[in-house]
Amino acid sequence: MTERTIDPPAPAPVWHLADEDAHDHGGGGPTVLGFWIYLMSDALIFASLFAMFGVVSTSYAGGPQPRDIFELPLVALNTAFLLASSITFGAAIPHIEQGRVGPTRAWLAITGLLGAAFVGIELYEFAHLFAEGATPQRSAFLSAFYTLVGTHGAHVTVGLVWIAVMLVQIGQRGLIPENKRRLMCLSMFWHFLDIIWIGVFTFVYLFGVLR
């Protein structure tokens, strides 16, 4: 009597498992890694701008000095707006993770309004300085000031456009994995700008007035 053997089941093809794994993750790993690399490159840009400002921060060329043109209460209010926007974005995170579209859009909208208030006050400050003759051409200090603060303001404006786009996409498609991944990148970007602004407020405005 011959003994009957049962062949073990063939293992699943490696390519198939890899394909399923890539489908499950949706390319989130490479996307987040790439965005981290972008943030690091952006941090180098701001580090260069801070270094430039530090070198020429006392080159007034007979023009106005920080204590003559900076209004700390107004800048402090603007700082409060941006810090509050970071808090409201953080409040949206649990709702994003749980897939709640309504609360997510509400917190994002509040974040956008606070960010818009920040940009509005910054534009008002620039217009006020221009009216007083404190233009970028007046001194190296003012050129560095407008470059550093203006670059940050441009980044915040890009963040506001990104928030508006995400509000539309969430309204149309909900909190699908792709939108959650984009919101995660947007959150990192927004908090990054918050950290940069704390450096701007301390190094440019506060130290400038107290110097």
Confidence of residue 1 (pLDDT cuts 50, 70, 90): very low
Q: Which phi-psi region, left, alpha or beta, contains residue 4 (left: φ > 0; alpha: ψ -120 to 50)?
A: beta
**Please, what is the average pLDDT of the chain?**
89
18, pLDDT greater than 60: no
Query: What is the CATH classification number for the domain harbouring 98?
Result: 1.20.120.80
Is 25 within a domain? no
Per-residue pLDDT at 30: 84
8, pLDDT greater than 70: no
Is 58 within a domain? no
Give CA separation, 37 vs 87, 97, 189, in Å.
24, 24, 12
Confidence of residue 28 (pLDDT cuts 50, 70, 90): low
73-93, pLDDT tens digit by residue? 999 999 999 999 999 999 999
- Residue 173 carries which DSSP code? H
119-174, pLDDT tens digit by residue? 999 999 999 999 999 999 999 999 999 999 999 999 999 999 999 999 999 999 99
Which range of residues forms the domain containing residue 149?
71-210
| Domain count within the chain | 1
Is 205 within a domain? yes
Is 35 within a domain? no
Is 116 within a domain? yes
Per-residue pLDDT at 31: 83
Look up the pTM and report it. Answer: 0.85
Is 169 within a domain? yes
Q: What is the CA radius of gyration of the chain?
A: 25
Is 97 within a domain? yes
- Residue 10 carries which DSSP code? P
Is 5 within a domain? no
H helices within the chain, ranges in order?
Answer: 14-25, 28-56, 66-69, 72-97, 101-131, 140-173, 177-200, 207-210
4, pLDDT greater than 80: no
